[in-house]
Amino acid sequence: MNTRVSLVMNMPMGANKYEVAIVAAREARRLNNHLRMHGETETSSAKVTTLALAATLHGEVGFQYTAGRTPAVETPPPPPVDTE
């Protein structure tokens, strides 16, 4: 019998999977930094990424949008230079 549970299938209703991935990645980075600061090299139960994703999906990691940030404007590539 397969007892593994897919975390992706348990996403909250209305959640954007890309936003959840970004929040989980930042939480994993925070957990890794915390482990390094305390001299630990690994967690006892699961990978840091799995722990961060599970915490994000269970609503244990809060996040909010920052107002006033505008997306970067893409600049067009420079025109080709003739070398002849």
pTM equals: 0.60
Q: Could you tell me which residues come within 8 angstroms of residue 7 by beta carbon, excluding any fewer than 6 positions away?
A: 50, 53, 54, 57
Structure tokens at 35: 């482990």
Q: Specify the higher pLDDT residue, 3 or 45.
A: 45
Which has the closest alpha carbon to 61: 23, 33, 15?
Answer: 23
Which has the closest alpha carbon to 22: 30, 10, 13?
Answer: 30
Dump pLDDT digits (tens) for 23-79.
899 999 998 888 888 887 666 677 888 888 888 888 888 877 777 666 667 777 777
Angle at 21 between CA 20 and CA 27, to 5 degrees: 90
- For tokens 């549970």, what's the residue? 5
